[in-house]
A and B are shown apart, each in its own frame.
Chain A
Amino acid sequence: MKVTEKDVAYVADLANLELTQAERERMVRDLNSILEHIDSLNELDTTNVPPMAQIPDRFGVDESRQGSERFAYTIREDVLEGLRKSLPHDVALANAPDSDGTFFEVPKVIER
């Protein structure tokens, strides 16, 4: 058993989840079963293998260029409205669970 109930509580906290007691017990079981399978990666020696964070690392770019130079085609002029106009206030707030018409509203952050 790699993952304990304490680990689950800690990770749930990081992930902004609460989880019921039943969910936590189930999570301990599921994570251990999946991680056991994932441990097979340790059979491989990857000391000199570079990590691959994204696909465009592998194609379509001029490899003689370095860093952000390689992705120069994604760069655009920094103009006021960007690629599209910003959403009007009322549209941006239309999906909000709670708003006063100007701001998103949330429960009190600081108790007095």
Chain B
Amino acid sequence: MEPKSLTIDAARSAVQQRTASAISLTESFYARIQNDDPKIGAYLTLCKERALAKAAEIDTLAEKGERLPLLGGVPVAIKDVMVTKGVRTTAGSKILGNYIPPYDCTAVARLEAAGAIVLGKLNCDEFAMGSSNENSAWKPVHNPRDLSRVPGGSSGGAAAAVAADMAVAALGSDTGGSIRQPASFCGVVGLMPTYGRVSRYGLIAFASSLDHIGPLTKTVRDAATVLGVIAGRDPMDSTSAEVPVPDYVTELEKPVHGLKIGVAKEYFGEGLDTEVRKSVEAAIQKLADLGCEIVEVSLPHTKYAIPTYYIVATAEASANLARFDGVRYGFRAPEARTLSAMYRCTRDLGFGAEVKRRIMLGTYALSAGYYDAYYLKAQRVRTLLTRDFEEAFKKVDAIVTPTSPTPAFKLGEKVDDPLAMYLADIYTVTADLAGIPGISVPCGETREKLPIGLQILGKHFDEATILRVAHAYEQAA
């Protein structure tokens, strides 16, 4: 069976009906990775032994005629910020270059418990800090749709692997747009669930109040399936919420007729590419044709989202990354003679330029004399941004926007201008700050055949509605 365009249901039923064995399917994915990944760069580490052992387990079930679990025999891959027991996990950083975790991330363990076959670990920006994947300490990722362009970031490897049929689905993480923006750039579906919906246990922390794990898939149905598997309370993460998990796949089929869809002018302003605007407007028209009621809403504080985000995220990062000191795991600078010199040299040599920049900005924002002016101020504006959504969601069931103001840009185009790179996240950071869920679904292409993404934002814990709208749009488009 060929990996090309394979969905979760197609892969699982092939293995269930024994038209393909899980082992042969896994091997055909590895063959494809061996053949295609050298020019894309999506994978950092392969875990063949673990994958083939799991595949054998699934084949035994299928041979006995037992009903396979939801992801039985489905080859998936994991962004390298989620720890995997016995499989090297680097977070895209040299400082964790030789780190072999002693435990599994909850989301990964849940995928495997549902029968998924983990092929390997996916490239990403170092510690998930970036919007182009160019901050990986190992290698850049090339967009499978145009190899001269970035795949987006920070889950660039995840989006590229799914787009290039080197995994049926992938897990990514989203702190400021890192699932949705690369999904949009590579032409796949990317879902960021509500904060607290999916356990963060085993996700290497970047900004703890903003980090989310979620799926990147080829279809909205697949995203619904994966979310159903990974969602739900986990005692190992005290911020994971005790909120019932609906059957997302069944919910997809409910009609969208009569749903109120908000459109906010703040997401269609200066800096929005003309072709992206046209595609998103056409998608909104399509939703109207499907019987949705289009309602104008206002999110007046949107323009303050990027400055708020870059204070809150970097402040939290500066604290989270203090643990990398060369003592318990990871890289240690070999030459240092004193403890304090060892810390400094280890961090100087172990972290890349963008990570150091963010640690510096976050430390500055938290330092004596600046805490009130920056960190506390940003936390207050975060309340305003969240209230914007709470007000809007009194009137509408979901809000649609472009995922990114532009299609995929060229490799190297923004590497020397951190602020320009930060502004690539202008439409995605708001949802992370407010903790609401968001999905990016493909909505056409530019003249140069570059994918465009439609973002659908929802109420807290209402992933079912945004999945339903995304599914209806995907089926109609």
Contacts and interface: CB of A to CB of B under 8 A. Distances in A.
B339 A50 contact: no
Nearest to B342: A107
Which of under 10, 10 to 19, 20 to 34, or 35 or more describes the interface residues of B? 35 or more
B330 A97 contact: yes
A75 B386 CA distance: 27
Interface string A60-86: 100000000001011010000001100
B209 interface: yes
Interface stretch (B125-133, B181-189, B264-272, B306-314): B306-314
A36 B230 CA distance: 40
A17 B238 contact: no
A21 to B, nearest CB: 12
A3 B303 contact: no
- Most B Cβ at <10 Å: residue of A37, A42, A59: A59
A30 B303 CA distance: 21
Contacts of A26: 353
A44 B367 contact: no
A11 B374 CA distance: 15
B383 A51 contact: yes
A41 B360 contact: no
Given A11-B367, A30-B357, A94-B102, A38 B307 contact: yes
A49 B255 CA distance: 39
A5 interface: no
A98 B333 CA distance: 11
B238 A74 contact: yes
Interface string B84-100: 00000000000000111
A1 interface: no
A95 B329 contact: yes
B382 A52 contact: yes
A7 interface: yes
Interface string A82-111: 011001000110111110000010111101
Contact of A27 (B99, B351, B360): B360
Contact of B419 (A3, A7, A33, A71): A33
B435 A58 contact: yes
B338 interface: yes
Contacts of A37: 306-307, 310, 419
B56 interface: no
Contacts of B242: 60, 73
Nearest to A109: B339
B215 interface: no
Nearest to A53: B379
B328 A104 contact: yes
B426 to A, nearest CB: 12
Contacts of A55: 195-196, 209, 239, 434-435
Interface in B305-338: 306-308, 310-311, 318, 322, 325-332, 336-338
A49 B329 contact: no
A83 to B, nearest CB: 5
B332 A98 contact: yes
Given A7-B364, A95-B329, A56 B196 contact: yes
B379 A51 contact: yes
A39 B89 CA distance: 37
Contacts of B318: 15
A11 B358 CA distance: 12
B419 A18 contact: no
B236 A31 contact: no
Contacts of B102: 87, 91-92, 94-95
B356 A60 contact: no
B352 to A, nearest CB: 11
Interface in A1-28: 3, 7-8, 10-12, 14-20, 23, 26-27
Contacts of A60: 196, 241-243, 460-461
B363 A104 contact: no
B379 A16 contact: no
Contacts of A44: 301, 304, 381, 384
B344 interface: yes
Contacts of B301: 44
A19 B337 CA distance: 18
Contact of B344 (A17, A40, A54, A83): A17
Given A41-B304, A92-B102, A97-B329, 5 more contacts: A11-B360, A30-B357, A49-B380, A53-B379, A83-B235
Closest 4 CB pairs of A and B: A55-B435, A51-B379, A95-B329, A97-B332
Interface of B: 98-100, 102-103, 195-196, 209, 235-236, 238-239, 241-243, 301, 303-304, 306-308, 310-311, 318, 322, 325-332, 336-345, 347-348, 351, 353, 356-357, 359-361, 363-364, 367, 374, 376-384, 386, 390, 418-419, 422, 434-435, 460-461
